[in-house]
Amino acid sequence: MENILIREAQIEDAEEMISYLNIVGGESDNLMIGPNGFNVPVEAVKRRIQASHDSDNSIILIALSEDKIIARAELAGYQGGRLHHNAKFSISVRKDYWNMKIGTRLMTEIIESAKQMNLHNIDLEVVADNKAAIALYHKMGFSDIGVYKNYWFANNVYKDAILMQKCLQE
């Protein structure tokens, strides 16, 4: 496999991240944003990346091939003192790179970072028929904890989402 670099996103990555999100959104029905649906100004994306850097319960990782972002994973820490030990996980990989263990690598690094940040729980939602993502999350130790009925709406179809959690400190 070609050389894939994984590192924390920097504010200089903001424009490339916007391009990435607009492309990857068109490659799957399982992301919140569809094709060219990420209409966030570059300055706002820079602020988001900076806020993640400044936070002690969040991290954004990107995977790059020849300076192009080909995958992204985010742990977004909850705000508010009583929820501070929880974070929400999200991930996407460019279609040409699916099933090459890039998701596994990103999740492994994110979980390690979460432990270093002393987080207790990571949660996520996944569309109930997203078999690849569900396989990945179960492999990484996430458990199903509930179902959101008709949570997802894409291509004129409502779908349930499974809520998952990984406890880091039993």
Side-chain-facing half-sphere of 162: CA atoms under 13 Å: 17
- Can you read off the two tokens belonging to residue 168? 């880091």
Q: Does 138 bind ligand COA (CB under 6 A)?
A: no
Q: Does 87 bind ligand COA (CB under 6 A)?
A: no
Among 4, 132, 163, 168, binds ligand COA (CB under 6 A): 132
Side-chain-facing half-sphere of 1: CA atoms under 13 Å: 12
Binding to ligand COA in span 21-40, by CB under 6 A: 28, 30-31
The CB-nearest residue to ligand COA is 103
Shorter beta-carbon distance to ligand COA: residue 8 or 27 = 27
Handedness of CA 39, 41, 44, 50 (dihedral sign): positive
71 vs 112: CA distance, rounded Å? 18
Residues that bind ligand COA (CB under 6 A): 28, 30-31, 91-93, 98-104, 126, 130-133, 135-136, 139
